[in-house]
Structure 1
Amino acid sequence: MSYSVAVRALCEFTAKAGDLDLRFTPSPSAQQGIAGHALVASRRGAAYEREVSLSGEYRNLHVRGRADGYDAERNQLEEVKTFRGDLDLIPANHRQLHWAQVKVYGWLLCQARELDQVRLALVYFDIVSQRETIIGETFTAELLREFFERQCERFIDWAEQDLAHRSARDQALGELRFPHANFRAGQRPLAEAVYKAVGTGRCLMIQAPTGIGKTLGTLFPMLKAMPTQSLDRVFYLTAKTPGRRLALQALETLQTDATTRPLRVLELVARDKACEHPDKACHGESCPLASGFYDRLPGARQAAVEAATLDQASLRDIALEHGVCPYYLGQEMARWSDVVIGDYNYYFDLNAMLFALSVANQWRVGVLVDEAHNLVERARGMYSAELDQAAFKAMRRVAPAALRTPLTRINRQWNALNATEDTASPQGGLNHNQAHYRVLDAPPAKLLSALHNAIAAITDYLTEHPAGLDSALQKFFFDALHFCRVAELYDEHSLFDMTFRPGRRGASVSTLCFRNVVPASFLAPRFEASRATVLFSATLSPSRYYADLLGLAANTPWIEVQSPFTADQLSVHVAERISTRFRERSASLSPIVELMAGQFARQPGNYLAFFSSFDYLEQVAGVLRERYPEIPMWVQSRRMDEPARQAFLERFTATGRGIGFAVLGGAFGEGIDLPGERLIGAFIATLGLPQMNPVNEQLKRRMGAIFGAGYDYAYLYPGLQKVVQAAGRVIRTPQDRGVVHLIDDRFTEPRVAGLLPGWWR
């Protein structure tokens, strides 16, 4: 059985040595890199070949890749590396990796074209000066063959181990059985739909009620399909930490009866949660876990694959035992794990690691997107960018003198934009506590030009002063880079807007935002790159809304799994004489409190009460506390940390009594599991509609122009999705019984009622 590996992956495995070094390096963006490669190629003669596909064999190893270019007349094979700044600052271990790649390509070329020798050239292209520095050397085919075989020998033991693992994994998954005696109601059709989607190679949307076991019901068929569909990896993507925990638990359950663990499972966590030394910089001279990282990586990597399941704690233990950084060990193990569990951003955002690895290594992947209704807002955030003028001004006051000119130009262009608003205002400026909002027809070309110039100047400065990375300057630099990159993606699916507020000495300051409205065009390539992506949630309707905004193909199937719950399990009441509209909230306080107190008196137990805002929540809680002090209550605070959230949930005990107050759409509106007597009811005092403000009104207009349903897409569908999710906390198992009070007269409207779960009626 042959093992296929890309040239880059082979060399990264065999040729990296020394420290992990993440000090500031002025690397070009992906677009600049592509443009630089194209410019270098355009300077070559007519005989120059671009993107030369090469491959070769060594024992059971198949090595493949594409060299950047070959000049047959000069018999010169080139590997192009773009950079900016001082070439001498490229670390030695990076250069070593570059030479390893071009030497492997050199042998593959000599072998393919029967060459006795070839000149190898590393072409370092400065994207600022557009000058090339060529470092070349002629090698005989024999020397290159020996180098190639040494790299393969270093890798082949690992490859054979990996092949043996895959064979054992596929055999075990072929024999995998569902871990329970029976499927829950709804689980079997869910699993069958996922398995069919992978078999036919298409995406799938599934709406399935909370409590039927969607995590296990989707992972099981995806894993069963791994050997039959030759999947290399399965990615389980979540919006929140509880989703990762449920996936890890499901995989533990699936492997409980196995004599050996057939799966390598990895949990990816954010860098700030994995960092052992947040007070130190990521390089060998500062952090002990970065010093000699690549020298100790092989031992840590071997220990990690033998551990099989690498949750956050296990990965940390192995990393510290071998003296390497846990976060970057996790990044390495993403290359060698069968199932990777992580946040949406690892596959869907601009710099998504899992997506990049899949493309570079030509992996066949299956993707599971948990609680997929969250992906709309999360993806909008991934493809949006913001710059705040007040933060810029504060940074500018303490910036190095060498950057005064480019930063002054930004300030001048920014103030010119603000002046447009000042002119439009009757007072020629902003009143106290007054804010204005504007959408511009096109991005401001002059300001973007000034930002690009400043980015170049800051890059040069930091290249010359690597220790002068002031935190405010660093933040502005990366914010500006992201802002300019998102500006390149601007189209009809985005807005460029400005929000103005009073600044110092009466002058207005603004926040600039490229605001993505429809992320479809950015997500569609991610779906196309997978063998199958399955998006599942209890609230994934209307299907057209999600397909439109996420960029799913028009023929993507949408199925609804029949609820295992019945109407007699959940008593749903509509308080049709109460309005929670903003102008009528004061009048609603007393009726809501009396409704809650009456329900609690009839059936004491644990309840959750959801409100549209903290202000509304606190007003109702205050009245309830005053009138009914005997009713236990606990309240979500505005900035709850993880321990406080856990303490809030721990109040819901099987023998407890009381009402927990929470904000709809917040930490307690979804993703929490309080079965049985831990939660017997919910009060939902809102339709969940997003706040009506200038930004949301612009979203409504833009989506109305694109889809013809602006109000529904901007307000109604997102709002009711939160209501259904919150109500879904009450019934978690077929044995549960509970009550939900929907508090607003608009719940009686046919188009609103039609979007609520059918089994409620």
Structure 2
Amino acid sequence: MNEMINVSVRPIVEYAFRRGSIDARFRTATTMTEGTRLHQMIQKTYGEHDKKEVPFETNLIYEEMTFHIEGRCDGLLKNGEQFIIDEIKSTSLPLIEVDEGTHPVYWAQAKCYGYMAVEEYNLEKITIQLTYIQSETNEIIRYQQETTASELNEFMKWVVEQYAPFARWKQKHLTMRDESSKALTFPYDSYREGQRKLAASVYKTVQDEATLFATAPTGIGKTISTLFPVVKAMGEGYGNKIFYLTAKTITRETAQEAFELMETKGLHASSVTITARDKICFKEKTICEKEYCEYANGYYDRINDGMLDILHHETRITREVIEKYAHKHRLCPFELSLDLSYMADAVICDYNYLYDPRVSLKRLIEEQKKQTTVLIDEAHNLVDRAREMYSAELMKSPFLELKRNYKRQNSEVSSAAASINNTFITYRKSTQNGSLVLSEIDEELIVQLDTFVQVSEVELLQQKSDELLLETYFLAQNFIRIAKLYDQRYMTYVEAGKSEVKIKFFCFDPSHLLQKMRKGFRSNVFFSATFTPFSYYQNMLGWKEEDYAVKIPSPFPREHANVYIAPLSTKYRDRERTLPKLVTLLQKVLHEKPGNYLFFFPSYGYMEQVFEAFTSPDEVETVIQQSGMTEEERESFLKKFTSDRKGSLVGFAVVGGIFSEGIDLKGDRLTGVVVVGVGLPNFDTERQLMKSYFDQAGRNGFEYTYVYPGMNRVQQAGGRLIRTETDRGLLLLIDRRYLEKRYQQLLPYEWQHFKLIQVT
């Protein structure tokens, strides 16, 4: 019996016909909405007997496989007895640059529909038509090819033959994946207390196609407790793909380890980790042009062989694996990871690949999304990250420079840049004490930016080499994009100095946008150890009434942590005065219980001030977190925390930084954690504006802006201490504010048995 291979027209022809090089030089792109509008514009010109959006399907047998191919063509036209397949494509290129052979994939797509139309209507021949419409001018150009039924039959045989090796791998892989995931048991001897409840909640969420908000304590094993049930659900036919989103490299590695663990228990599933382009690029500069990079040159000529090689031989496709095969096949490692992400069962990546409108994986088609479960690790981080993604800013200086640079070269670019520069000058004159706050969009500025984008496109298509123009073009384009999202949850902030002016569209509340971005996926699981207070994260992450929620208590006896509060003021105005007492207290901790410690501070400046004043005995080694540490430097920092040290070790770190989340220093690797301060974010202008926004929205602005995010950081830092059932240690919270009700009520239950230390 033949195996059934289901595939849509677009992916099968792309696989068979994509050729050439990666070229990331400037090229414009029509948005999906604009493309739909232009398609509809053409379709409105169809005649009475013409049809639009015509569904087709066919079955083709090849080597014991039956290929079920389906798709929807833009138009099926009739000219007398002549049938015409119309494939409509919008383009931002001038039509003079588009000829009959520009896009082989488009012709192939149209020929597939031609084959199915010939089959359905019993035709001997059919005309294939490509209709190009220019997105700015609405100019139209058409190319036609008449082809016979026998020619189309040979064409389809060739397409299927090209796709067959990948189809064989996919069918074999999916069979092995589903059988192994059905047979898979929890990869540890037993569940920790609470793990089974979390896993069951995740499974039900996937089964019911719902969204879950899960609070589970640090150290419970949230990664395996969320991934395992989704993998099991896939084996039962509930979904077909996983995205595991995380903000930090360390937590990405934890997800990779979870797949490795399940693999040792018999799972056969593919996972790929996406590493940022600038980190994984083999070249000195990330210039994706065939003239500069041999990995970009001819990439699409080699990608199919490279993909099949890696898919046949690897399941856990980490950065190291991608680099190995990218070198072997001369493929860009970043583009290879993106191409693999559409094939793999699981994708481990940063939040922005799904949520950021500038970066998101746009080729993830709706049908694939419907079968995808999204796991959002450490989801408390998504609040601030989403604010960044949905905000945008522009500076005055690039427009002034472009105005001058293009005065003789291109008067239209110079004039457009000058208009924007003049608007910045007007804003500077309107500011009081260097700043201005508005609750609306300057529509005139958006029009000016739109003009700048249009004239810059023409220039960039000609010469493509001006990095300043290219960068400013993309910033302007993003500003326009964010302007379309602007509503009552935004504010416009202008900051002016003598020579520079900044305009920012600041998104205070990203909840509705996050809610919108999660639509279309089968299920979403937001999980964190620190959803406290839960109502805050419900509001900020886009909670709906029908969403599920679960809270898992800590499985570890709270007596394993000796929790102390030292009521010493660490407020900015008091720091110099209390510094000697703070240093004495820290030294006392080390003297009374030697071991490995992490000392967390609210800022680099304060940390460095204490570090300089901290004179440690010879038997105490110190190491300090630096801003912008490389992965190697982070690993070196953590490797110092060994369980067999003769003396003590103190790691000075920043609360909310790379060492306060996602790291496991189990057993004697960590003796104690000290958190200095209550973790409040900086009292800068943007935070003050945010506070005002939440006050006006009827919420407690100070708590929403400062207290909740700050105490979240404290909980994350303190959560480094107890990671397993056998861990024990000391947790010291240093600040007078921990005795105030608004802070104390945010302490987790596991810390509420604290004792007071008198500071003298």
TM-score (norm 2): 0.92
Judge conservation of contact 1:7–1:104 (CA < 8 Å) in 2: yes
Q: Does 1:308 align with 2:315?
A: yes
Q: What is the identity, as a one-letter code, of the residue corresponding to 1:502?
A: K
Q: Does 1:475 align with 2:471?
A: yes
Judge conservation of contact 1:289–1:324 (CA < 8 Å) in 2: yes
The answer for the alignment partner of 1:432 in structure 2 is none
The answer for the alignment partner of 1:35 in structure 2 is 37
Q: 2:624 aligns with which of 635, 650, 654?
A: 635
The answer for the alignment partner of 1:276 in structure 2 is 282
Q: What is the identity, as a one-letter code, of the residue corresponding to 2:484?
A: E
- Once the two structures are TM-superposed, the CA of residue 131 in structure 1 deviates from its matched residue by 0.7
Judge conservation of contact 2:376–2:525 (CA < 8 Å) in 1: yes
Q: Deviations over 1:690-725 (max 9, x none)?
A: 222221122223334446343322222111110000
Judge conservation of contact 1:605–1:657 (CA < 8 Å) in 2: yes
- Once the two structures are TM-superposed, the CA of residue 479 in structure 1 deviates from its matched residue by 1.4
**Is 327-336 or 204-213 further displaced after alignment?**
327-336
- Once the two structures are TM-superposed, the CA of residue 141 in structure 1 deviates from its matched residue by 4.1
Aligned length: 741
The answer for the alignment partner of 2:293 in structure 1 is 287
Q: What is the identity, as a one-letter code, of the residue corresponding to 2:441?
A: P
Q: Does 1:728 align with 2:735?
A: no
The answer for the alignment partner of 2:58 in structure 1 is 56
Judge conservation of contact 2:215–2:531 (CA < 8 Å) in 1: yes
Q: Tell me, which stretches of 5 or more residues in structure 2 are unaligned?
A: 753-760
Q: Does 1:513 align with 2:508?
A: no
Q: Does 1:422 align with 2:429?
A: yes
The answer for the alignment partner of 2:672 in structure 1 is 681
Q: Deviations over 1:512-532 (max 9, x none)?
A: 222222222332244332222
Change (3 A) 1:757 1:290: same
Secondary structure at the counterpart of residue 518 of structure 2 = helix
Q: Does 1:492 align with 2:488?
A: yes
Secondary structure at the counterpart of residue 24 of structure 1 = coil
Once residues 424 and 475 of structure 1 are traced to their aligned partners in structure 2, the CA distance between those partners, rounded to angstroms, is: 27
Change (3 A) 1:150 1:480: same
**Is 719-728 or 480-489 further displaced after alignment?**
480-489
The answer for the alignment partner of 1:506 in structure 2 is none
The answer for the alignment partner of 2:386 in structure 1 is 379
TM alignment of 1:259-658, pairs within 5 A = 262-279=268-285, 281-306=287-312, 307-351=314-358, 353-354=360-361, 356-359=363-366, 361=368, 364-399=371-406, 401-423=408-430, 425=432, 436-466=434-464, 469-503=465-499, 509-576=500-567, 578-625=568-615, 631-654=620-643, 655=645, 656-658=647-649
Change (3 A) 1:316 1:623: closer
- Once the two structures are TM-superposed, the CA of residue 643 in structure 1 deviates from its matched residue by 3.1
Once residues 531 and 511 of structure 1 are traced to their aligned partners in structure 2, the CA distance between those partners, rounded to angstroms, is: 40
Once residues 239 and 194 of structure 2 are traced to their aligned partners in structure 1, the CA distance between those partners, rounded to angstroms, is: 26
Change (3 A) 1:403 1:519: farther
Once residues 622 and 355 of structure 1 are traced to their aligned partners in structure 2, the CA distance between those partners, rounded to angstroms, is: 49
- Once the two structures are TM-superposed, the CA of residue 218 in structure 1 deviates from its matched residue by 1.4
Secondary structure at the counterpart of residue 102 of structure 1 = helix
Q: 2:179 aligns with which of 171, 196, 199?
A: 171
Once residues 544 and 2 of structure 1 are traced to their aligned partners in structure 2, the CA distance between those partners, rounded to angstroms, is: 48
Q: Does 1:21 align with 2:26?
A: no
Judge conservation of contact 1:407–1:454 (CA < 8 Å) in 2: no
Q: What is the identity, as a one-letter code, of the residue corresponding to 2:32?
A: A
Secondary structure at the counterpart of residue 703 of structure 2 = helix
- Once the two structures are TM-superposed, the CA of residue 148 in structure 1 deviates from its matched residue by 2.8
TM-score (norm 1): 0.92
Once residues 50 and 434 of structure 2 are traced to their aligned partners in structure 1, the CA distance between those partners, rounded to angstroms, is: 56
Q: Tell me, which stretches of 5 or more residues in structure 1 are unaligned?
A: 426-434, 504-508
Once residues 472 and 211 of structure 1 are traced to their aligned partners in structure 2, the CA distance between those partners, rounded to angstroms, is: 47
Q: What is the identity, as a one-letter code, of the residue corresponding to 1:65?
A: G
Q: Deviations over 1:20-67 (max 9, x none)?
A: 333322333334323322333344446554433332222322222222
Once residues 362 and 702 of structure 2 are traced to their aligned partners in structure 1, the CA distance between those partners, rounded to angstroms, is: 34
Secondary structure at the counterpart of residue 130 of structure 1 = coil
- Once the two structures are TM-superposed, the CA of residue 602 in structure 1 deviates from its matched residue by 0.9
Judge conservation of contact 1:68–1:80 (CA < 8 Å) in 2: yes
**Is 40-49 or 15-24 further displaced after alignment?**
40-49
Secondary structure at the counterpart of residue 373 of structure 1 = helix
Change (3 A) 1:197 1:363: closer
- Once the two structures are TM-superposed, the CA of residue 98 in structure 1 deviates from its matched residue by 0.9
Q: Does 1:749 align with 2:757?
A: no
Once residues 734 and 47 of structure 2 are traced to their aligned partners in structure 1, the CA distance between those partners, rounded to angstroms, is: 74
Once residues 428 and 299 of structure 2 are traced to their aligned partners in structure 1, the CA distance between those partners, rounded to angstroms, is: 53
The answer for the alignment partner of 1:236 in structure 2 is 244
Once residues 286 and 379 of structure 2 are traced to their aligned partners in structure 1, the CA distance between those partners, rounded to angstroms, is: 36
Once residues 629 and 437 of structure 1 are traced to their aligned partners in structure 2, the CA distance between those partners, rounded to angstroms, is: 51
Change (3 A) 1:407 1:445: farther
Judge conservation of contact 1:17–1:93 (CA < 8 Å) in 2: no
The answer for the alignment partner of 1:96 in structure 2 is 104
Across the aligned residues of Structure 1 and Structure 2, the Cα RMSD in angstroms comes to: 2.5
Secondary structure at the counterpart of residue 357 of structure 1 = coil
Once residues 388 and 265 of structure 2 are traced to their aligned partners in structure 1, the CA distance between those partners, rounded to angstroms, is: 42
Work out the percentage of aligned pairs sharing the same amino acid. Answer: 32
Q: Deviations over 1:433-460 (max 9, x none)?
A: xx63322232222222222112111211
- Once the two structures are TM-superposed, the CA of residue 630 in structure 1 deviates from its matched residue by 7.2
Q: What is the identity, as a one-letter code, of the residue corresponding to 1:460?
A: V
Q: What is the identity, as a one-letter code, of the residue corresponding to 2:13?
A: C
Change (3 A) 1:202 1:210: same
Q: Deviations over 1:349-388 (max 9, x none)?
A: 2155546414264650122111111111112222222212
Q: Deviations over 1:600-638 (max 9, x none)?
A: 11111122122211222222223323x878754332233
